[in-house]
Amino acid sequence: MTLPQTVAPATLHDYEQVARGRLDGAVWDFIEGGAESERTVAANRRAYGRVSLRPRVLVDVSVCDTGTELLGARLRTPVGIAPTAYHQLVHPDGEVGTARGAAAAGALFVVSIYASRTVEDIAAAAGGPLWMQLYWLRRREALAALISRAAAAGCRAIVLTVDAPRLGRRHRDARNGFALGPGIRAANLDPALTAAAHVPGAGRSALATHAVEAVDPSVTWADLAWLRERSDLPLVLKGILTGEDAALAVAHGADALIVSNHGGRQLDGAPASLDALAEVVAAVGGACPVLLDGGVRGGTDAFAALALGARAVLLGRPVLWGLAAGGAAGVAGVLDLATEELAHTMALTGRPDLASVDASAVVLRTEAR
Ligand SMILES: Cc1cc2nc3c(=O)[nH]c(=O)nc-3n(C[C@H](O)[C@H](O)[C@H](O)COP(=O)(O)O)c2cc1C
Ligand SMILES: CCCCC(=O)C(=O)O
């Protein structure tokens, strides 16, 4: 599948428009929607509107280098792919297409525990680092098996998502009675474990029902030792929004953190991820890299997050827009466009490499109350 000739996407939102025209309404709602009033979804975007850039001039910007290093891997771009479930909802290639797109762009791909293609097939299509995202399943043996499988396939880190002891109340999915069709499944989990995600019911999301059954809400910091015993891979915690939890994460030996409110899909009323970033970066004090996701819709947004202390940013919905619009080429298109925009902002702010994209490059105003 290729992009229609008439559409030459100039922004990530152009991919959004193409994707919207191609996807079934309930799938569209699942992707775009958030929890409850969706005020955190909106806050994520609004935060970037409060950023002012502080340009420096007469700096040689003939080459702007977006290259970076993350947990020992070189990346051509600090813009990577956040874990999102079930890519076959938007394109038949699913995560294999996404992995090809990430490889073409030289970007990190975080694979969801709910990937609709096997981790082995995804790894075979990948060209750069893959990280495997997990939810803490009640069935620990299934979790242990998946960790071994991910490591054997070549994944370079485990990402534990810690902001979803239960799924957010997503009214769009409940109203749509959203459930997975028979052709799409969690390819890396025992089908019995995800059966409930396929059973539609009026007024409820089958994914939410499934999550209640499958995800263990009793997990605490002390349980991280169990994960550590099962894998030597670096452990990344996704969904940290406070300095207190960032300090605990460092004390428990996390190798990286992702500042995230899950794209506004979990706790409605959580802060914009950009607003939480400085607090987390300060608490981490350089002990490990901090990444950010939520509302990044272009290179200028990425620039702001990097300047405020993120080592990399991850895109959630925009990657699904790219995949829906053009398969692997669409994913590469989204990542390349965001990276080109980042390089452009670096040139116009006089910051030719990421080391020079520091706190002096931006002002983030607080939101008027
Ligand atoms: C359709 C969809 C599915 C998602 N699935 C997962 C998932 O399986 N695991 C996870 O940790 N986060 C998941 N997320 C959250 C993303 O990893 C990420 O935090 C969020 O999408 C970032 O915000 P953005 O979409 O505004 O870029 C999902 C998000 C979306 C939109
Ligand atoms: C049970 C599927 C959860 C996927 C997810 O994390 C999300 O939709 O945000």
pLDDT per residue as tens digits for the range 29-75: 999 999 999 999 999 999 999 999 999 999 999 999 999 999 999 99
- Long-range CB contacts (within 8 A, 24+) of 218-226: 219/136, 219/165, 221/248, 221/252, 223/136, 224/160, 224/252, 224/253, 226/140
pLDDT band for 6, please (50, 70, 90 cuts). low
**Does a structural domain hold residue 68?**
no
Alpha carbon nearest to ligand 2 atom 5, residue: 85
ipTM value for the complex: 0.99
**Does a structural domain hold residue 61?**
no
**Does a structural domain hold residue 361?**
no
> Domain range spanning residue 80?
12-50+74-341
pLDDT at 2 over 90: no
pLDDT band for 3, please (50, 70, 90 cuts). low
DSSP letter for 361, please: G
DSSP letter for 294, please: S
Q: How many domains does the chain have?
A: 1
**Does a structural domain hold residue 98?**
yes
Q: How far is the CA of 314 from the centre of ligand 1 (A)?
A: 10
**Does a structural domain hold residue 26?**
yes
**Does a structural domain hold residue 362?**
no
Say which CATH number the domain at 212 has. 3.20.20.70
DSSP letter for 116, please: S
pLDDT at 169 over 70: yes
Q: How far is the CA of 93 from the centre of ligand 1 (A)?
A: 19
DSSP letter for 368, please: P
What is the structure's pLDDT at 8?
Answer: 86
Q: How far is the CA of 166 from the centre of ligand 2 (A)?
A: 10
pTM above 0.95, yes or no: yes
Residue 322 Cβ inside 6 Å of ligand 1? The answer reads: no
pLDDT per residue as tens digits for the range 232-281: 999 999 999 999 999 999 999 999 999 999 999 999 999 999 999 999 99
**Does a structural domain hold residue 229?**
yes
Given the CA of residue 168, which atom of ligand 2 is nearest to it? 9
Note if 252 is an active site residue: no
How many other CB atoms are found less than 10 A from the CB of residue 356? 17
pLDDT per residue as tens digits for the range 127-157: 999 999 999 999 999 999 999 999 999 999 9
What is the structure's pLDDT at 367?
Answer: 86
| Closest among 238, 207, 227 to 143, alpha carbons compared | 227
Mean pLDDT of the chain: 97
Strands 256-259, 68-70: pairing is unpaired
**Does a structural domain hold residue 67?**
no
Q: What is the mean pLDDT of residues 332-347?
A: 98
Given the CA of residue 208, which atom of ligand 2 is nearest to it? 1
Q: Where are the alpha helices (DSSP H) in 126-242?
A: 140-153, 171-176, 206-214, 224-230
